[in-house]
Amino acid sequence: MAAFAVFISVLMVVTGSLNTICAKWADRLKDGELTFNHPFLQALCMFFGEFLCLVVFFLLFAWRKYKWNQGNVEGDGGAIRDLSDVDEPTLPQFNPLIFVFPACCDILATSIMYIGLNLTTASSFQMLRGAVILFTGLLAVAFLGYKMQKFKWLGMLFVTAGLAVVGVADILFDQNPLDDTNAIITGDLLIIMAQIIVACQMVYEQKYVQQYDVPALFAVGLEGLFGMTILGVLLFPMYYIRVPSTFSTDPEGRLENVFLALTEIQDNPTIAVALSGTIVSIAFFNFAGVSVTKELSATTRMVLDSVRTLVIWVVSIPLFEENFIPVQLVGFGLLILGMFIYNDLLLGPFIRRSVLPSMGESTPCNACCLSLWASDSLDDHEPLVNEDDP
């Protein structure tokens, strides 16, 4: 079991990192003088990867059903065994259409993020996605009536500070300010805007996934199915929509030119390799994420997600010739600290276990710490801010 825990942890970090790296790799590949810039087609590949989770779910369900039936029928000497104390595997009873709305949110957010990824660096892209914590917390308070602990507000404050440092560093340390500054600002803002949509998706999913007790792989797979279907249909009207050159390098200014994309893939098969990497990595990343949450904990998944951000940053510098900006270390540190505080990892438990008991109960400092780090009233149903990776 310990070996499996290590395996799924490493798998989550590696596949999660590969997903962003493959997406950025595809963005940099060229067919002649034309750079591959098809964010909606890349989003379609991501949804296909999520759809594969639905295939895996039904394969596992069929296997469990088969074993249950086999256990009921094939007893010793062919006699029927009574397994009435073993629950028969069943599918959760709910309307699958409740996942159409989160799929639409996922389509919009993922497409916007891929556009932003085209305009900024892979490392900044991954760091700025930490804004989802801020928006998910605010929406949970506003629409689900959650009472946020004070330490969570403190964590959100650190996350906001980290986002500000990363964004400002992108602009101030840009080596080609006349050419790239507007694109970088636009890309960073699009990524942050997308996190608002992701937060809406998280809050909605929190309500219905818990209400109907939907297995995570089933939920991810359904969103992939609906997202793939809806976006596949939308690719046709997108062909006739014209946009500024900032958002599309298509010679005719089309929002998404799938025919041009297929031609580029045919001319440069390496693009197909990058897109296949997106599909495979997102499928294994979701499987690994669900397994980490089940076998270890949701907080472990959060820690591994932070490690993934660091891996992407380190790899992107030599691979995509990104600038090493030392001040972004400060931004990254603030982001990670904020995430750890928000999810009550390390710092909060250490203060409650080691610091508070050594302080006098009546001291103002202890009263302040108790107020800030109290976790007895922690709502177990608070949204887990962990998004499917685009």
Between residues 221 and 377, which one has the greater pLDDT? 221
For helices 327-342 and 131-143, the axis angle rounded to 10 degrees is 30
Question: Is 161 in the same domain as 263?
Answer: yes
**Mean pLDDT in residue range 79-105:** 78
Q: For residue 300, give the 3-state DSSP assignment.
A: helix
Is residue 186 one of the residues assigned to a domain?
yes
Is residue 122 one of the residues assigned to a domain?
yes
Is residue 82 one of the residues assigned to a domain?
no
Q: Residue 173 pLDDT more than 50?
A: yes
Distance set, CA 13 to CA 114, 331, 336, 346 (Å): 20, 21, 16, 20
- Give 88's DSSP letter: P
Between residues 58 and 371, which one has the greater pLDDT? 58
pLDDT value of residue 231: 96
Alpha-carbon distance of 339 to 137, in angstroms, equals: 12
Question: Is 221 in the same domain as 313?
Answer: yes
pLDDT in tens, 308-333: 888 888 888 888 877 778 888 898 88
Alpha-carbon distance of 338 to 151, in angstroms, equals: 10
Please choose, from the candidates 390, 340, 34, the residue with its C-alpha nearest in 3D space to the C-alpha of residue 159. 340
Question: Is 326 in the same domain as 356?
Answer: no
The total of other beta-carbon atoms located within 10 Å of residue 323's CB is 13
Distance set, CA 329 to CA 164, 211, 305, 326 (Å): 13, 40, 17, 6
Q: Residue 176 pLDDT more than 60?
A: no
Is residue 388 one of the residues assigned to a domain?
no
pLDDT in tens, 37-56: 999 999 999 999 999 999 99
pLDDT in tens, 14-30: 999 999 999 989 988 98
Alpha-carbon distance of 260 to 190, in angstroms, equals: 25
Question: Is 187 in the same domain as 270?
Answer: yes
Residues 50, 286: contact at Cβ < 8 Å? yes
Residue 279 — pLDDT band, cuts 50, 70, 90?
Answer: very high
pLDDT value of residue 74: 54
Q: Residue 83 pLDDT more than 80?
A: no
Question: Is 231 in the same domain as 367?
Answer: no
Residues spanned by the domain of 375: 352-379
Question: Is 263 in the same domain as 359?
Answer: no
Alpha-carbon distance of 109 to 194, in angstroms, equals: 5
Q: For residue 30, give the 3-state DSSP assignment.
A: strand
Is residue 42 one of the residues assigned to a domain?
yes
Question: Is 293 in the same domain as 261?
Answer: yes
Residues 102, 223: contact at Cβ < 8 Å? yes
Question: Is 286 in the same domain as 329?
Answer: yes
pLDDT in tens, 200-238: 888 888 777 767 878 888 988 999 999 999 999 999 999
Residues 64, 88: contact at Cβ < 8 Å? no
Question: Is 336 in the same domain as 356?
Answer: no
Distance set, CA 209 to CA 129, 199, 206, 284 (Å): 23, 15, 6, 21
CA 134 to chain centre: 14
How many structural domains are present in the chain?
2
CA 163 to chain centre: 17
Question: Is 227 in the same domain as 361?
Answer: no
Is residue 103 one of the residues assigned to a domain?
yes
Question: Is 307 in the same domain as 359?
Answer: no
Contacts (Cβ under 8 Å, ≥6 apart) of 142: none
Q: Residue 362 pLDDT more than 80?
A: no
Is residue 389 one of the residues assigned to a domain?
no
Question: Is 257 in the same domain as 175?
Answer: yes
Alpha-carbon distance of 263 to 249, in angstroms, equals: 15
**Mean pLDDT in residue range 168-175:** 75
Is residue 79 one of the residues assigned to a domain?
no
Residues 113, 193: contact at Cβ < 8 Å? no
Tell me the whole-structure pTM to 2 decimals. Answer: 0.81
pLDDT value of residue 190: 93
- Give 120's DSSP letter: S
